[in-house]
Structure 1
């Protein structure tokens, strides 16, 4: 994607202009492209998304603009529902779909599609999956469940298992290595060593997947990963740290592939509000031979 970004404050002489006019004046976007950026959710005024082209903005207010001319059409794919009750909704997120809005759009993501698919629901998000990662994602449907899920994810009172394919085998092991953003890395990425910004503790357990667990999948070296913490890119970073990056994860040194071979597979948690154990699974269908 060719993402372009601008940040500026409104000059006094521009305070009487329409928002699309200000954007066209202060960026290299035409007014038509400015209106498209607004429609897609790529404009923030005072850190809030704004979509009204005719809005007037006071002098001194910060405006952020993000525009990606290569964005595909807004997706209309139905999101598969894995489980639903009064309190929660569990879905199988497709690979290639952001969990929530990005700089340039709030219409090309999972939450946007779910709002279209289930306009009757108010959904609360407590965990995310990387854009290239597929699989289980749980959302609360009610404020009471929202509180319960928040506590579960904050306290790690749950079991999260991922299925991952690597290029070479790896014996069962536990990785306890802090993860932080690598200072100055472009594109941005995370690591366990080097000049890290605000590194935080992280633990991942790895073991080879069994023949039963991988029956019917494209042949290869598969691992089951259990994460005990929820750091950004945690599995990807820990495997790269071990010299076994995820297949298709070129950001972290993985061999090129047509996909990122990482899937949020199984999730065990306490039911919010009502209590009791709940075990969910999203089969890795996109890994099938």
Structure 2
């Protein structure tokens, strides 16, 4: 990616400029690229996305611009549905798609795709997956479900299992190491050691996957991870801490591969409205032989 970002405050002498003109003046973008950034959702005025090229912005207002000329066309991938009823929607997120809008776009992500494919729904998100990670995501369709899911994820009253492939075997273990953003890291990443910003407690259980669980998958060292907390990049960071980074995870020292071998596999929870026990599963199709 060649993501470029700018942040500036509108000067009094620029108060009459259209937003696309202003961006072209205060960044290295042409007016054409400025309009493309606006169209994709890569412009924020006072922390809110704006897409109107002709908007005039008051002096003193903060403007943020993000533009990635290498963004692919807006995807039209059909999102597989794992489970749906009147209250919730569970889907299998494809790898390579962000869960929600990024700096440069609010059109390339899962929520945008679902909004296009299911315009009848107003969905609420309570957990996320990294862009390279595939698998289960549960969204609320109804205010009652929204409140119930919010409570379940806040209290961690659920079971979240992931499948990951690593380069060397790993015995069953539990990692309880706080995770924080590494100060000054570029690209940004997280860790358990070093100069960490706002480290928070994190716990992950690991065990080797069984032959039954990996039947039909590409041969290798497969593990099952259960997270008890929801820190950013938690499984990836804890596996790096153990010296067993995930295959394809270049950010955390994993061996080179054409994909990140991490999949949100199973989710056990009480239905947020009916309180029925649910065990949802997204088969790891992309990892099959």
TM-score normalised to structure 2 length: 0.99
SS state at 2:218 partner: coil
Q: Distance in 2 between matches of 1:46 and 1:201?
A: 32
Q: Distance in 2 between matches of 1:81 and 1:13?
A: 52
Structure 2 counterpart of 1:8: 8
Write the mapping of 1:263-282 to structure 2, written as runs, cut at 5 A.
263-282=263-282
> CA offset at residue 234 of structure 1?
0.3
Write the mapping of 1:22-37 to structure 2, written as runs, cut at 5 A.
22-37=22-37
Q: Which runs of 5+ in 2 are unaligned?
A: none
> CA offset at residue 72 of structure 1?
0.3
SS state at 2:150 partner: helix
Q: Deviations over 1:148-193 (max 9, x none)?
A: 0000000000000000000000000011110001111111110011
Q: Distance in 1 between matches of 2:91 and 2:66?
A: 29
> CA offset at residue 144 of structure 1?
1.1
1:177 aligns with 2:177: yes
Structure 2 counterpart of 1:62: 62
Q: Deviations over 1:222-250 (max 9, x none)?
A: 00000000000000000000000001101
> CA offset at residue 276 of structure 1?
1.4
Q: Distance in 1 between matches of 2:62 and 2:122?
A: 30
Q: Deviations over 1:59-93 (max 9, x none)?
A: 01000000000000000011000000011000000
SS state at 1:5 partner: strand
SS state at 1:246 partner: coil
SS state at 2:237 partner: helix
SS state at 2:217 partner: coil
Structure 2 counterpart of 1:245: 245
Structure 2 counterpart of 1:166: 166
Q: Distance in 1 between matches of 2:66 and 2:117?
A: 26
1:17 aligns with 2:40: no
Give 4+ residue runs of structure 1 displaced > 3 Å after superposition: none
SS state at 1:212 partner: coil
Q: Distance in 2 between matches of 1:92 and 1:44?
A: 30
Structure 2 counterpart of 1:38: 38
> Once superposed, what is the RMSD of the aligned Cα atoms?
0.5
SS state at 1:240 partner: helix
Q: Deviations over 1:110-141 (max 9, x none)?
A: 00000000000000000000000000000000
Q: Distance in 2 between matches of 1:144 and 1:20?
A: 42
> CA offset at residue 275 of structure 1?
1.0
> CA offset at residue 146 of structure 1?
0.5
Q: Distance in 2 between matches of 1:198 and 1:64?
A: 25
> CA offset at residue 274 of structure 1?
1.3
Q: Distance in 1 between matches of 2:228 and 2:127?
A: 13
Write the mapping of 1:224-243 to structure 2, written as runs, cut at 5 A.
224-243=224-243
Aligned length: 289
Structure 2 counterpart of 1:149: 149
SS state at 1:78 partner: coil
> CA offset at residue 95 of structure 1?
0.3
Q: Distance in 1 between matches of 2:7 and 2:174?
A: 43
Q: Which runs of 5+ in 1 are unaligned?
A: none
Structure 2 counterpart of 1:221: 221
1:81 aligns with 2:81: yes
